[in-house]
Amino acid sequence: MSLVQFGEKEGKMQKIYICFPEGKTKALTMSYDDGRTQDERLIDIFNQYGIKGTFNLNYGIMQHDNMRIPAERVKELYSGHEVATHTLTHPTIERCPLSETAYEILEDRKGLEMLTGGIVRGHAYPNGSYNKEIKQLFQQLGIAYGRVVEAKPDFALPSDPMEWHPTCHHNASNLMELAEYFANFQKRQYLKLMYVWGHSYEFDQAHNWEVIETFCRYIGGRNDIWYATNIEIIDYMEAAKNLRFTADNTAVYNPSAQSVWIQTNDKGTVEIEGGKISNLHRL
């Protein structure tokens, strides 16, 4: 868990820890690029096991590529998951002028928002291409996070959301070893995140759909894991960061619309409702 603050209460140190929703301390998220037709099968697997994914789409390509999910299917197919940007036409953006990069991200956002009826704020860098200037630009254009391709198997939340490293690709030779470590991890003083990424068409190319089916069957449906999209994790942790505690940790104000869960050393898991001041003495 993430330690927020501690104070002195009735002669004892009052520790306050941030939890994931419902007091959970582990989260799983998935991220798949390009919006190929194989997303249909992948989403069926995710839905079967209660797993949520973020799907990074190129609005400009789906219009004329029959290997992509057609525009009219996007809203229904990805319902319950997240649609995120992957640029309009999938260029290697680090080699492009920033003006072109801005066009690529804004037009992709506009198109995907038109299809979904929602606000699209996530991103996966096409070809893993990005730099400091691109990260700053995307933030200015309404992007809340950017997923890169370099994996870091540390199960950590992103220190820089605009350079969000996944735990592993689904083709990692140790995928199930990582999944077992994550599933069996029980130390509640830490927040742990497992983040798997890939392309759904890779399962057809490698004839190995059993890889993702086995993984999802094993890791899905667990009561101690929060199954979330990328943007849900970003928004929740932002709400948690915005909690306002009294100096002695006896009360907390949540200015966000969504609830945040905390754990205290004497009250256990507590839901801090959005828009309210919670007196931790009286809960």
- Domains of the chain listed by start with CATH number: 2-14+237-279 (no CATH), 21-224 (3.20.20.370)
CA 230/CA 161 separation, integer angstroms: 10
Check if the beta carbon of residue 107 is closer than 8 Å to that of residue 88. Answer: yes
End-to-end CA distance of the chain: 21
Check if the beta carbon of residue 107 is closer than 8 Å to that of residue 74. Answer: no
Residue whose pair of structure tokens reads 């939890």 in the numeric block: 19
Which tokens belong to 160? 């820089």
CA 139/CA 146 separation, integer angstroms: 9
Beta strands 251-254 and 276-279 are: antiparallel
Q: How does pLDDT run along the chain (283 residues), one tens digit per residue?
A: 443 433 444 445 468 999 999 999 999 999 999 999 999 999 999 999 999 999 999 999 998 899 999 999 999 999 999 999 999 999 999 999 999 999 999 999 999 999 999 999 999 999 999 999 999 999 999 999 999 999 999 999 999 999 999 999 999 999 999 999 999 999 999 999 999 999 999 999 999 999 999 999 999 999 999 999 999 999 999 999 999 999 888 899 999 999 999 998 766 899 999 999 998 875 5
Closest CA to 211 of 182, 168, 181: 168
Three-state secondary structure string covering 189-213: CCCEEEEEEECCHHHHHHCCHHHHH
